[in-house]
Structure 1
Amino acid sequence: MATPDELRATLADARATFREAIEAAEMGWRRSPDEGEWTAQEIAEHVIQIEARITTMVCEACGYPGIEAWEPDCASSIEAVDEFDAVVSNCDAKLKYVTREDLEKKHEMFGDVAGIFEMNVNHLVEHTAQILAAAEA
């Protein structure tokens, strides 16, 4: 099993890639690849909100309070980068306390803490590809 530091590093890499995708999406910020699909703006706002919720899942499994999720409204990719940086900072302030022992602790619905970290990375990877496709539409 990966260590907490390894999981945090993998998450940081996925976040950095997602942040780059937000920056690259400025010209197609409000476009969607197909009818009914999310725009780059909607994807970024979703991820910002879910970052807080996933971190709260980790906190709940470990027995301490999570962070408050908010509903961002990002008119531009620049605003989205600022909002994403803010939520990542809030999340990291909690996730830095996760220990090796915590990784096996279970959330009532989402499995163990290590799995929640992996779920977060997978969520970011999925939406990174989606935001790039939306921006290029």
Structure 2
Amino acid sequence: MIERVGTWPAFERWPELLPTWFVQRCEPESVPDPSFDVEAWERWWRALTSEQKAAECQGPWMLSDWLYYFDPTEEGRGDDRSWWWWDAGVSEPGSGWVEVATTGWPCETGSLSWLIEASGGTDLSYGT
């Protein structure tokens, strides 16, 4: 069981808290490059169109990168996400839907898309 609301588990705990199949579908963790220029990367990212960002966010994702978008601490973007889970269901055998609330369109949905793809979802389409 995940700890009470208000605490965020250490990264090392997440593989035992999340479904094994999801963790196994994530990209292996890599060692950070000490020469990586975060500011240059952020400038590059901000200059991309929504379509380019979507293409860059194709999975698989490393677990640490995926968790970053939900982490409410100073290390993550959990308080700055542009979408929130609203509802989901099955429309017919082998087909389903996910509904999210957003701050507007376009919004960053790479972490959601990776969750759906890692869960076996295909043919993702976005409605407004």
Q: When the two structures are superposed, what TM-score results if normalisation uses the length of structure 1?
A: 0.25
Specify the structure having the higher radius of gyration (Cα).
2
Q: When the two structures are superposed, what TM-score results if normalisation uses the length of structure 2?
A: 0.26
1 or 2, which has the higher strand percentage? 2
1 or 2, which has the higher helix percentage? 1
- Choose between structure 1 and 2 for higher RCO, CA contacts under 8 A separated by at least 6 residues: 1
